[in-house]
Amino acid sequence: MVIAFGNPAYTDWVRDNTSNDAWGYFLRQLAWPKWSFSSDESVRTILADDLKAILLVVLTGLFVTLLAGSQLSRARGSASQFFAGWGAYMFAGAVAGLIAAFVQANASLLGAFNWASGGAVYGLFVGWIVGLAAFGARR
């Protein structure tokens, strides 16, 4: 999802073509972990955005593994697997935003909290897709 919806073409399209309704909000949330190699922005901003996208992928794998290991064997393949994947994505988004915000130019604690909350909201609205994937990945 990070590759498909975080790319510069999609983020530009979302910025220019979505309205202020629920569907537009969801489409804008998909573009939260944006990445780019643009020369229009500062190097620190590009690095922070790219780091946020990379950390989201890495931390999702880590948190899904940790949360799946804590489930009871009788609970595997049930709704708990779905919620473990969804929760892992919310945690990964929040932690990725928190860490990457300190790389950005003019970094501040308030800015890091804003990026972390943006990641948690992104995980809430998009993480169900990861939850479905975790639910479908039965061992």
**Per residue in 57-95, pLDDT tens?**
999 989 888 877 655 555 556 778 888 889 999 999 999
Does residue 77 or residue 40 have the better pLDDT? 40
Name the percent of the chain lying above pLDDT 90.
Answer: 45
State residue 76's pLDDT score: 58
Q: pTM, whole model, 2 decimals?
A: 0.83
pLDDT exceeds cutoff 90 at 114: yes
Amino acid at 139: R
DSSP one-letter string for 44-94: HHHHHHHHHHHHHHHHHHHHHHHHHHTS-GGGTTSHHHHHHHHHHHHHHHH
The number of beta carbons lying within 10 Å of the beta carbon of residue 66 is 12
User: How many helices (H) and strands (E) in the chain?
Assistant: 6, 0
DSSP state of 37: -
Residue 10's pLDDT band (cuts 50, 70, 90): very high
Amino acid at 111: G
Q: What is the mean pLDDT of the chain?
A: 86
Per-residue CA distances from 56 to 1, 13, 32, 51, 74 (Å)? 10, 22, 11, 8, 29
